[in-house]
Amino acid sequence: MTPSLILVLAIGVLFATGVYLLLERSLTRVLIGFILIGNGANLMFLVAGGRAGGAPLIGTTPPDQMSDPLVQAMVLTAIVITLGLTAFVLAMAYRSWQLHGHDEVQDDLEDRRVARHAARNAPAFEDSDTEESGATLDDEAAEVYDETDGDGDGETDARDGTRAEKEAPPSGRSGTPGTPGTGGGEGR
């Protein structure tokens, strides 16, 4: 059996349009892209399933005239997956509309910062400069600026800009465990 050229073109158009819409920033367009790709996949399953036949029930249709039941199960599964994905993206778009007044995906500023940092250190990633300086990647990594170390003492600072106290006990109590009168447990 050869598939109809119109169906093959329809599958191609659905997939191409769906992929194009998936690359947009608006979640509504992304949602429509998911739906188009899901419909294209369903149509592709039906075309790949072969010719139409009788009901795939033993005793009602001769085996050589039955339609393929696997295709029907795959299409039903694809419909359920597309419905779940549609509900999820629709909920994300609605929540974005509530919070920001639009449904466009924002740029990830941290991702941009990491990309700029990687671009500045591109020769270090290729390790092509070790012959010249004699330093390894580990040596270069030890000298990289740490944004969490604001005062330059080599230790990570707390979020509020003050130095993190390493000496403070984690529970907030003073003294050491087992010291009488300090909550250690032995002096009670």
Per-residue pLDDT tens digits for 73-108: 899 999 999 999 999 999 999 998 888 888 888 777
So what's the pLDDT on residue 158?
A: 61
Q: What average pLDDT does this structure show over 134-144?
A: 65
Residue with tokens 């030890």: 142
10 Å Cβ neighbour count for 18? 20
Residue 135: pLDDT band by 50, 70, 90 thresholds? low
Answer yes or no: is pLDDT of 121 > 90. Answer: no
10 Å Cβ neighbour count for 40? 20
Residue with tokens 């694809």: 78
DSSP class of residue 163 equals: B
Per-residue pLDDT tens digits for 4-52: 889 999 999 999 999 999 998 888 999 999 999 999 999 999 888 877 7
Higher pLDDT, 123 or 72: 72
Residue with tokens 């998936």: 22
So what's the pLDDT on residue 50?
A: 78
Answer yes or no: is pLDDT of 172 > 80. Answer: no
Q: 66 pairs with which residues across the strands?
A: 54
Answer yes or no: is pLDDT of 143 > 50. Answer: yes
CA–CA dist 36, 12 (Å, integer) = 11
CA–CA dist 49, 69 (Å, integer) = 9
10 Å Cβ neighbour count for 56? 16
CA–CA dist 159, 122 (Å, integer) = 29
DSSP class of residue 51 equals: S
Which of 35, 3, 4, 5 is closest to 17 using CA atoms? 35
Which of 44, 17, 45 is closest to 33 using CA atoms? 17
So what's the pLDDT on residue 180?
A: 52
Predicted model pTM:
0.55
CA–CA dist 84, 44 (Å, integer) = 20
Higher pLDDT, 6 or 117: 6
